[in-house]
Amino acid sequence: MAEVKILVEGYTNADAKESLETTEEKTCATITLVRDQNLVIIVDPGVLESQNILIDKLKEEGLNISDINLVFLTHSHIDHYRNIGMFPRAKTLEYWGLWEGNSSQDRPESLSSDIKIISTPGHSNDSLTLLVNTIHGVVAICGDVFWKENYPELDAYANDMETLKKSRQQVLAQADWVIPGHGKMFKVVK
């Protein structure tokens, strides 16, 4: 079975309009490590105050930048992909395909028997979710399908709220745990 670990717990104050009246928006995507067989995946390398934060978190896992062989992007908003350049040798998997250098191939439906990829549009048209089978159940790493646990139902940044509601239902029906785009992992209540 695959292993999932949050390396950097994301955050945002975008849902606190009263704080945005006096301060600027601050956001960081949740950055997740997935390991399965020969795959060492970083999901959403995000934006950070310093790239050394991510380098140090990888060191804590016994890894360095060159050990990462795949970067998975949940969607194409810069707060989720800004640091992709940290992994020049890794392949990149995003909505439009699997990239290696300047060549691409069609996006696969799975990466292994324990890692499935599903399309989850609504926040953006190009949103994807990884469904990872672990010893603790299925973990959905879904970007901004859910920003964080108890995030307001209305996503002010969504391009299609009705489609997003359907994507949320799809994720909740298939997952035991959710790693949202900007917060800690939470358990799905069924």
21-42 per-position pLDDT tens digit: 667 888 999 999 999 999 999 9
Is residue 116, in this structure, part of any structural domain at all? Answer: yes
Is residue 102, in this structure, part of any structural domain at all? Answer: no
Residue with tokens 């992909």: 81
Contacts with 139 (C-beta within 8 Å, 6 or more apart), sequence order: 4, 131, 132, 175, 176, 177, 178, 179, 185
Q: What's the pLDDT score for residue 150? A: 86
Q: What's the pLDDT score for residue 190? A: 86
Mean pLDDT (the chain) is: 94
CA distance 98 to 100: 7
CA distance 73 to 86: 14
With cut-offs at 50, 70 and 90, classify the pLDDT of residue 153. confident
**Higher pLDDT pick, 71 / 17:** 71
- Number of independent structural domains in the chain: 1
Distance of CA 73 to the CA centre of its chain: 6
CA distance 34 to 180: 15
**Residues 122-131 pLDDT 10s:** 999 999 999 9
**Higher pLDDT pick, 20 / 87:** 87
Is residue 85, in this structure, part of any structural domain at all? Answer: yes
**Residues 46-57 pLDDT 10s:** 999 999 999 999
Provide the domain limits for residue 138.
Answer: 3-97+108-187
Is residue 7, in this structure, part of any structural domain at all? Answer: yes
Does pLDDT of 175 surpass 90? Answer: yes
Is residue 163, in this structure, part of any structural domain at all? Answer: yes
CA distance 142 to 176: 13
Is residue 113, in this structure, part of any structural domain at all? Answer: yes
With cut-offs at 50, 70 and 90, classify the pLDDT of residue 162. very high
User: What is the radius of gyration, based on Cα positions, of the chain?
Assistant: 16
Is residue 62, in this structure, part of any structural domain at all? Answer: yes
CA distance 23 to 188: 33
Q: What's the pLDDT score for residue 142? A: 98
Does pLDDT of 75 surpass 70? Answer: yes
Q: What's the pLDDT score for residue 115? A: 98
Does pLDDT of 152 surpass 80? Answer: no
Quick check: helix, strand or coil at residue 174? helix
Task: Read off the CATH number of the domain in which 83 is found.
Answer: 3.60.15.10
Quick check: helix, strand or coil at residue 63? coil
CB atoms within 10 A of CB 147: 25
Is residue 131, in this structure, part of any structural domain at all? Answer: yes
